[in-house]
Amino acid sequence: MKTLPFALRARARTPLFLAPQAGVSESPFRRLCRSFGADVVLTEFVSAEGIVRGSGRTAHYLRFDDEERPIGIQIFGADPETMAEAASLVTEVYGPDFVDINFGCPVKKVVKRNGGSGCLRDLELVGRIVRAVVAATPLPVTAKIRSGFDESSRDPVAIGRTCRDAGARMVTLHPRTRADMYSGQARWDEIAALVDALDVPVIGNGDVRRGEDAHRMRERTGCDGIMIARGSHGAPWLFHQARAALDGRPVPGEPDTRTRFEICIRHAENAVAFERDGDKAVREFRKHLGWYTRGLAGGRRLRQRLFQVRDLSEVREFLGRYLASAGERGCSGLAGGFIVTGSRANPDPLRGPPAGR
């Protein structure tokens, strides 16, 4: 039997998973989340066709460090033979701990090619894809699903059983349909129903935004693990909070602004070091800057500047000025030589000192 490389159904410890997210779950973010307590991480979802064609861009998404283990590579596609070939290649070339199949992505450009949640319109196809991938790799194969393509096809238990019967060793459920996208509330009762229906581990995903949410999900559903996705955006410390809640310990509060910026800079530096093109890395990191500065007083003005930064020095400069305007002192020890500039007297610290000084 192809066993998973992490403990499940032991009940002693509920593992926390970082979800596969395009443009978010890059190696620097995976490592950061691991440092805050994520037990298992997955790559961004990767096109099976891109893998088979030998796309350089696709290969970039597949890179990972050993410190990220246990890690799964998630692939998507609608052709069983191509999916099988892709699974074989990633097993041989990259050697992840497991291969995950994406049956959940709701993005139009994926669905229109029948990939991701598009496959849920045809459960026979879902079964053929899982069987083909299982036959192609000695690694455990898992599946991430939604509750259906739309409300009329909503049947997460049937979808989960199809994956299990075809050989999936674990099923992750995001209890929304493709038509739901990310609207409304995730139906956690469907996770509970899937747990009752399957004899393989079930991972719950959806609407875990606070540490306490992870505890509530486990108690309400009996799930074997918890996957965190959008809640981690600009908040990798959510894994630390979730672990405390699951272990019955006091849940730490949100980090102060200075600490939040330290983590942001650490993340940005690792992103630039990981990406061969530093300028591109900074441009792509702008979305993270938006997330790290959510909820801050004057955050909108700060983000207007941050969304135009071209290098790390500008990131440090704008964040440093913001801290100075808020009265934060003694910040020279921040990651990457983060130096605070500006002063409380400056009415707009993001613009620098007034003219004539």
* Interatomic CA distance for residues 87 and 48, integer angstroms: 8
Distance, first Cα to last Cα, the chain? 72
Who contacts 11 (Cβ-Cβ below 8 Å, separation ≥6)?
none
HSE-CB for 105 with a 13 A CA cutoff? 26
Q: Which residues pair with 202 in a beta bridge?
A: 171
HSE-CB for 350 with a 13 A CA cutoff? 16
Q: Which residues pair with 41 in a beta bridge?
A: 18, 71
Phi first, then psi, for residue 38 (nearest 5°) are -65, 130
Q: Is 280 left (phi over 0), alpha (psi -120 to 50) or beta?
A: alpha
Residue type, 59: A
Q: Which residues pair with 173 in a beta bridge?
A: 145, 204
Q: Is 47 exposed, middle or buried (0-12, 13-18, 19+ CB in 10 A)?
A: buried
Who contacts 314 (Cβ-Cβ below 8 Å, separation ≥6)?
none
* Interatomic CA distance for residues 314 and 322, integer angstroms: 12
163: annotated active-site residue? no
Q: Which of 33, 105, 163, 223 is catalytic?
A: 105
Who contacts 180 (Cβ-Cβ below 8 Å, separation ≥6)?
106
For the record, the structure tokens of 300 come out as 């909108």
Report, as residue numbers or ranges, the catalytic residues: 105
